[in-house]
Amino acid sequence: MKKILLILFTFHFSLLTSSAQQKIVLDLERTVRLATDSSLSAQKYQSVYDASRYRYLSWQASRKPQFALESTPVMYERYMTQRYLSIEDIDVYRQQRLFYSQAGITATQTMERWGGQFYGSTQFGYLRTFGEQNQTQFMTIPIAVGYKQDLLFYNPLKWARQIEPLKLERAEKELIYGIEKTSEQAVEKFFALALAQDMMQMAMESLASCDTIYAIAERRYKIASISKAELSILELQKTNARTTLANARITHSRAVKELATYLGMDPTTEIDLIIPLVVGTLHIDGTEAIALARENNPKYLESRQATAEARREAERAKVEKNLSVSLDASIGLNQVADNFADAYRHLQSQDMATVKLTIPLKDWGKRKNAYLAARSSVDTAERTEQETARDVELDVAMTVAEFNERQTIVENARQALTIAEDAYAQTLQQFIRAQADAYSLSVAQSHWQTARQNHITSLQNYWLAYYHLRRLTLYDYQHRQAISHR
């Protein structure tokens, strides 16, 4: 590059002259860090994880004893009610007024092992009626305890204990997976700008070269060293170079705005990029990468969760296919009195036991088909789980093979760039000494520019393959550690 700039003599170009705009220099590592810290997509993935974590904490809290105060502080009614007068043997309407107040504390505790629920309560009520005879009553239930559950051994609490932690683990992996996807998108936008930046630089250099070469050609034309046709070709190249530079500036401006916006910066920010190189050799073992994907990739957890939920619904449908039986039993103490103190004396027993039985006599195959549908859903989920594993492992294996091969491609592209640059420099010197024609110079310049773009593209593909593999396995192969963004 230095050889060519020296051969092209001295020229001055200024890309952007506004000093009011913010300027920033980014390398690939800083770009990825900004994307994972500040981009809207990273914040979105964090919000999704937070929602899942709060749902998990809510479920964890539901496993502990729950206490609630249920109260009707004030209820007043005035209405007409029908009454029977036995002496006169007639029904009459009388106005009725009452004031009622009630409060109670209930406690519940789920029993995950059995799938039932213990509950207990204490209540107090006050009733005041107004009419021909005013009356006051106090009602108390100092203590009442009970237990209820389904008797056919479908235990939703057992399934929740299996599925809910799986949901949280999946949410944690999906957070990392999503942020790694953000990193991958940032790499794409980084190299889109890198290509646009290099294209604009080449367009500027090409225009400077065309100006210099055309000036040389004009002097040679005056002494009949080159033909009019060759001079016209060089003039056309100079005109085309101006158009190419204008288009390159538009592409560069768009790429800058897209990257700045994605990183949460002002769209008018000026960005200069430091193109990353590939230093050393990083070889990734395919077997290790597949094992890491099985351990970390959230798609495995997603399919496992879907299979568990399908099995849960199949078990429920199987239990409910023939009949359903439930039990609700409680014992306690209660009393009613005309004054507060007597309401807690001479307490009476309060017992309740209920068994509910439902047997379908004729449902036209409703429950049977619901069970068969649930079983089919289990088969579908299991096959989907196998298909997901196959697809992820294939993607990992192909990406590993691609990444390992990309390192050689990058080195070849670097060598090609060096060769093309030297060839262009030599051809330019020969043209200046009138030892090469304009066509040969144009071809050499085209090869040089193509080699520059190919080199950046090879780096782009290398880093995209690396970050794609990071996303698939959630593993940092450079630092040999699992990725965490929490």
Confidence of residue 455 (pLDDT cuts 50, 70, 90): very high
Neighbours of 12 (CB within 10 A): 5
Give the count of alpha carbons within 13 A of 47, CB side only. 6
The predicted pLDDT at position 12 comes to: 37
The predicted pLDDT at position 437 comes to: 75
Write down the mean pLDDT value for the chain. 87
Residue 104, burial from CB neighbour count under 10 angstroms (0-12, 13-18, 19+):
middle
Give the count of alpha carbons within 13 A of 381, CB side only. 21
What value does the CA radius of gyration of the chain take, rounded to a whole number of Å? 40
**CB–CB of 166/308 below 8 Å?**
yes
CA distance 18 to 256: 15
Q: What is the pLDDT of residues 121-168, one digit of tens each?
A: 999 999 998 876 788 999 999 999 999 988 777 888 899 999 999 999
Residue 357, burial from CB neighbour count under 10 angstroms (0-12, 13-18, 19+):
exposed
Q: At 190, give phi and psi (nearest 5°).
A: -60, -50
Q: What is the pLDDT of residues 13-56, one digit of tens each?
A: 333 333 445 788 999 999 999 999 888 988 999 999 999 999 99
What global pTM score does this model have?
0.81
Whether the per-residue pLDDT at 172 is higher than 70: the answer is: yes
Residues of the chain with pLDDT > 90, as a percent, come to 54
Residue range 245-254: average pLDDT? 93
Confidence of residue 239 (pLDDT cuts 50, 70, 90): confident
The predicted pLDDT at position 224 comes to: 67
Q: Which comes out higher in pLDDT, residue 335 or 8?
A: 335
Orientation of helix 366-432 relative to helix 156-222, angle to 10°: 20
Tokens coding 468:
């794609």
The predicted pLDDT at position 15 comes to: 34
Q: Using the structure block, give the residue that is written with the tokens 């389904």.
A: 150
- Helix and strand element counts for the chain (H, E): 9, 10
Which of 249, 190, 202 is CA-nearest to residue 453?
202
Letter string b/e over residues 279-310, b meaning 16 or more CB atoms within 10 A of that residue's CB: eeeeebeeeebbebbeebbbbbbbbbbbbbbb
Tokens coding 186:
């940032």
Cα distances (Å, whole numbers) of residue 451 to 207, 415, 418, 436, 482? 18, 9, 9, 21, 37
Neighbours of 154 (CB within 10 A): 17
Orientation of helix 298-320 relative to helix 366-432, angle to 10°: 170
Maximum average pLDDT range among 185-189, 205-209, 364-368: 185-189
The predicted pLDDT at position 14 comes to: 36
Residue range 255-273: average pLDDT? 91
CA distance 307 to 305: 5
